[in-house]
Amino acid sequence: MREFIHQLPKAELHLHIEGTFEPELMFEIGRRNGVKLRFKSVDEVRKAYAFTDLQSFLDIYYEGAQVLLKEQDFYDLTWAYLKKASEQNVCHTEIFFDPQTHTDRGVPFETVIKGIHGAMADAEAKLGITSKLILCFLRHLSAEAAMETLEQALPYKEWIIGVGLDSSEVGHPPKKFAAVFKRAEEEGFLIVAHAGEEGPPEYIWQALKTLNVRRIDHGVRSPEDPELVKYLVEHQIPLTVCPLSNIKLCVFDRIEDHNIKEMLDMGIKVTVNSDDPAYFGGYMDENFIAIQEGLHLSREDLYQLSKNAFEASFLTPDEKQKRIDELDTFMKAHS
């Protein structure tokens, strides 16, 4: 099964580029930029990755990002992730970035996006992995700050497929950002939002009805509301689920308690993703392996999860069909 998972053609739709920052690279970039971390070693950093909830993770995640200053830093970070993803047979990925984490420290928007975009273009040319970029607004900051960030993004519109919403969920409902998402949609961006990770099903409804999202990021609290489940199934709204993230942030106690298989069986279009793999103990293969072993998934379940991701992606209908045909060829060869 592990080899099958590794070989399975996969798409990743929920991945924060700042969350792929491995401690080794963090130290290397910190050293070359003359930025000191409060940790003395890579081991000490990894030991600090004992989280109790989303906020306890976000505090350390924003701290690590402080060493990123130059275009080359963003390039190196993005290249390292794309190389790793490609090695795990992820053939398409849709990457989140948090510009406010950097612009609020004085790093220009242009520096961030040029570094990330440069690595995405090189990875497509050299590794064959395709990717798209989604700008996330930090929901613990104001709606006005999100609107300013959207304005900064407009000159780079061709490089950004969509906008999303992340950071501290509870107390920052989607409707707080109704105006900025309306403007983003008018500008042609596709809409996604984190909802129902720690926040209630009501936040998922708001993301759907007020922000007009194409996908819900996380959404694992959906089964608490039967009407919502019915809506997600009827409208085939994808959920980008992140199993190891949910365990590390104590959304579920154990992988055996995770509800991804239950949601798959309900007919919800669930997908598997790694969220912040450097912090949560694994990339795509490790997430698939954890749920396969913990929830006894069959090859057909794994196929369906992978197919859901290609269908839920922001690829064109022709590109989706090509990927799904490749997936079907893989399945025929392995059954």
> For binding to ligand ADE (CB under 6 A), which residues are involved?
16, 19, 54, 166-167, 194, 197, 245, 275-276
C-beta separation of 128 from 86 below 8 A: yes
Instruction: Tell me how far, at minimum, the Cβ of 249 lies from ligand ADE, in Å.
Output: 7
* Residues composing the chain: 335
Where do we find the tokens 């839920």? Answer: 312
Residue 254: other Cβ atoms inside 10 A: 8
269/261 Cα distance (integer angstroms): 11
CB-based closest residue to ligand ADE: 166
Which lies closer to ligand ADE via its Cβ, residue 100 or residue 306? 100
Which residue among the candidates 22, 94, 197, 311 is catalytic per the annotation? 197
Nearest CA-CA partner of 305 in 319, 287, 321 = 287
Instruction: Tell me how far, at minimum, the Cβ of 324 lies from Zn ion, in Å.
Output: 25
Which lies closer to ligand ADE via its Cβ, residue 4 or residue 252? 252
Residue 223 dihedral angles phi and psi, to the nearest 5°: -60, -10
Instruction: Tell me how far, at minimum, the Cβ of 106 lies from ligand ADE, in Å.
Output: 21
Q: In the beta sheet, which residues pair with residue 241? A: 272
Instruction: Tell me how far, at minimum, the Cβ of 220 lies from ligand ADE, in Å.
Output: 11
Q: Look at residue 71 and give the partner it binds from ligand ADE, Zn ion, none, a contact being a CB closer than 5 to 8 Å depending on partner kind.
A: none
Which lies closer to ligand ADE via its Cβ, residue 130 or residue 167? 167
Nearest CA-CA partner of 113 in 143, 68, 146 = 68
Question: Which amino acid, residue 258?
Answer: H
Which lies closer to ligand ADE via its Cβ, residue 274 or residue 313? 274
Binding site residues, Zn ion, CB under 5 A: 275
Helix, strand or coil, per DSSP, at residue 319 = helix
Q: Look at residue 167 and give the partner it binds from ligand ADE, Zn ion, none, a contact being a CB closer than 5 to 8 Å depending on partner kind.
A: ligand ADE
SS3 content of the chain, % helix, strand, coil (to 5): 60, 15, 30
Q: Look at residue 311 and give the partner it binds from Zn ion, ligand ADE, none, a contact being a CB closer than 5 to 8 Å depending on partner kind.
A: none
Instruction: Tell me how far, at minimum, the Cβ of 277 lies from Zn ion, in Å.
Output: 11
Which lies closer to Zn ion via its Cβ, residue 22 or residue 275? 275
Which lies closer to ligand ADE via its Cβ, residue 100 or residue 245? 245
Q: Look at residue 197 and give the partner it binds from Zn ion, ligand ADE, none, a contact being a CB closer than 5 to 8 Å depending on partner kind.
A: ligand ADE
Q: Look at residue 22 and give the partner it binds from ligand ADE, Zn ion, none, a contact being a CB closer than 5 to 8 Å depending on partner kind.
A: none
Which lies closer to ligand ADE via its Cβ, residue 280 or residue 303? 280
Q: Computed from CA positions of residues 77, 125, 323, 293, in that sequence, does the dihedral angle turn out positive or negative?
A: negative
Instruction: Tell me how far, at minimum, the Cβ of 168 lies from ligand ADE, in Å.
Output: 7
C-beta separation of 8 from 289 below 8 A: no
Q: Is 202 a catalytic residue?
A: no
Residues contacting residue 120 through CB under 8 Å, at least 6 positions apart: 78, 82, 95, 131, 133
Q: Look at residue 54 and give the partner it binds from ligand ADE, Zn ion, none, a contact being a CB closer than 5 to 8 Å depending on partner kind.
A: ligand ADE
Nearest CA-CA partner of 139 in 203, 209, 63, 208 = 203
42/46 Cα distance (integer angstroms): 6
End-to-end C-alpha distance for the chain, whole angstroms: 12
Where do we find the tokens 């050299």? Answer: 126
Residues contacting residue 257 through CB under 8 Å, at least 6 positions apart: none
Instruction: Tell me how far, at minimum, the Cβ of 232 lies from ligand ADE, in Å.
Output: 19
Catalytic residues: 197
